[in-house]
Amino acid sequence: MQFNKVLDDVKIYEAGKPIELVVREYGVDAKDIIKLASNENPYGTSPKVTKKVQEIAKNMFMYPDDSMFELKEALANKFKVESSNIIMGSGSDQILEFAIHAKCDKNSKLLMSNVTFAMYEIYGKQTGATIIRTEDDEHNLDQFRKLYKEHKPDMVFLCLPNNPLGECLDTKDVYEFLEEIDEKTLVVVDGAYHEYAAFKDEKKKIVVDELISKFPNVIYLGTFSKAYALGGMRVGYGIAKKEIIQNLYKLRPPFNITTLSLAAAVEALKDEEFVVDCIRKNFEQMKRYEEYAKTKGFSFIESYTNFIAIKFDKMYNSSEVAQNLLQEGIIVRDLTSYKVNAIRITIGSDEQNTKVLKVLDEVLKKLK
């Protein structure tokens, strides 16, 4: 049977290995596995959110409120925008899908950093669009500028901070760049990890209502999967001017957020204290990895996220390191598929990091 030709060139996203798979494949006991591969919040779901979901679990038979009234109101309030500036997605991923599918076809061009979130390319290729990447792995706005002028892309992607590397542009520089972009070009400012960057460094902080009022061609993406500790519930959002949101809405399937996910997200927004506490601990713990990398002579990218990318340069092969960690029940992300000889480790809890650093050290000694 013939399917659309564009699919021939689409590759499938490779998710971080789930614990269940490591149990099945390596026979490691589930309770001994440490998964630091998908940038989940290691402090777990806020107990208040868990309690709320337990209370309403019996409502699973009921479709969610498809207008998402309560959650959109809460977000509108948080970001000082209108509900009509917001579209909800099954993760911010789905907003990428809406935006790219609404804007692109096989004649389109997408501009992004050389190493950045894999789904930009995957959704792009689903439309048959051409992917244009900077030479540098990390965001380099001069290279973005040059390629922008050369190719006049339909969409530009800024991942602030960047997954899977962790760096983050200064907001001032982002604004200067956005001034030079034509209004016809849709710019995605992907803030999936933005809460971390804004906490660590005021210069990275993006004020969303200011962003979308200054730049009517920008859509800001946020998620509940990271700092809000709801990765399993698939709730993300896009914020932009109404005209953009209305067009994206045409691609939104009904009921794209589950009944329990809506309630969990509303509750999570009420517990900002939990979020700030998680972020604070994240950066405290991150220092341990930075110290370790320094003692070993590995370079690492200063991270504004809840993960750190440690580069092995010519000293080790990242796939080998990741594979050896896996056999010990530690799941990290090998960045070989991004053509970077590095592993990306989610910053775990104190206890997790102690074990990971110990096992990593053993593995590296073994591979020496």
Q: Which of residues 10-29 bind its own copies (CB under 8 A)?
A: 10, 12-13, 15-16, 18-21, 24
Distance in Å, CB of 156 to its own copies, minimum: 13
Is residue 103 within the footprint of its own copies (CB under 8 A)?
A: yes
| Nearby residues of 67 by Cβ (< 8 Å), 6 or more positions away | none
| 245 binds its own copies, rule: CB under 8 A | no
Min dist. Cβ of residue 295 to its own copies (A): 31
Binds its own copies (CB under 8 A): choice among 28, 75, 244, 321? 244
Say whether residue 30 binds its own copies (CB under 8 A). Answer: no
Cβ count within 10 A of residue 234: 20
Stretch that binds its own copies, among 64-72, 166-174, 192-200, 287-295 (CB under 8 A): 64-72
Q: Which residues, at least 6 apart from 297, have a Cβ–Cβ distance to it below 8 Å?
A: 315
According to CB under 8 A, which one of 26, 30, 32, 59 is a site residue for its own copies? Answer: 59
Alpha-helical segments (H) within 2-68: 19-26, 47-56
From 45-53, 109-117, 298-306, 327-335, span contacting its own copies (CB under 8 A): 45-53
Give the residue, chosen from 97, 167, 190, 271, that forms a contact with its own copies under the rule CB under 8 A: 97
Closer CB to its own copies, 213 or 299, in the complex? 213
Among 34, 53, 160, 335, binds its own copies (CB under 8 A): 53
Rounded distance between C-alpha atoms, residue 267 and residue 325, angstroms: 36
Subset of 206-235 contacting its own copies (CB under 8 A): 216-217, 225, 229-234
* DSSP H or E stretch at residue 256: none
Binding status of residue 186 toward its own copies by CB under 8 A: yes
* Count of Cβ atoms closer than 10 Å to residue 128 Cβ: 18
Q: DSSP assignment, residue 63?
A: P
Work out whether 183 is an interface residue with its own copies (CB under 8 A).
yes
Stretch touching its own copies by CB under 8 A, among 4-12, 139-147, 165-173, 331-339: 4-12
Give least dist CB 327 to its own copies, A: 20
- Report CA torsion sign: 186, 192, 193, 199: positive
Query: 10 Å Cβ neighbour count for 287?
Result: 10
Residue 70 is a binding residue for its own copies (CB under 8 A): yes
Site for its own copies in 254-293 (CB under 8 A): 254-256, 258-261, 264
The answer to the question of residue 105 lying near its own copies (CB under 8 A) is yes
Q: Which residues pair with 133 in a beta bridge?
A: 112
Name residue, tokens 């056999």: 327
Q: Is-contact 119 94, C-beta < 8 A?
A: no
> Quick one: which of 76, 131, 132, 251 contacts its own copies (CB under 8 A)?
251
Among 63, 77, 84, 214, binds its own copies (CB under 8 A): 63
What contacts 56, CB < 8 A, 6 or more positions away?
Answer: 259, 260, 263
Nearest Cα neighbor of 227 from 260, 284, 269 is 269
Pairing of strands 155-159, 109-112: parallel
Q: How many positions of this chain bind its own copies (CB under 8 A)?
A: 79
Q: Which of residues 137-156 bind its own copies (CB under 8 A)?
A: none
**Cβ-based nearer residue to its own copies, 256 or 324:** 256
For its own copies, which residue of 27, 29, 31, 61 counts as binding (CB under 8 A)?
Answer: 61
CA dihedral 65, 66, 70, 74 (to 10 degrees): 150
Please name which of 168, 179, 170 lies closest in space to residue 214, comparing C-alpha atoms. 179
Tell me how far apart the alpha carbons of residues 223 and 227 are, in angstroms, rounded to a whole number: 8
Q: How many helices (H) and strands (E) does the chain have?
A: 14, 13
Q: Which is nearer to its own copies, 137 or 267 (CB)?
A: 267
Nearer to its own copies, 21 or 367 (CB): 21
Choosing from 27, 29, 31, 62, the residue that interacts with its own copies (CB under 8 A) is 62
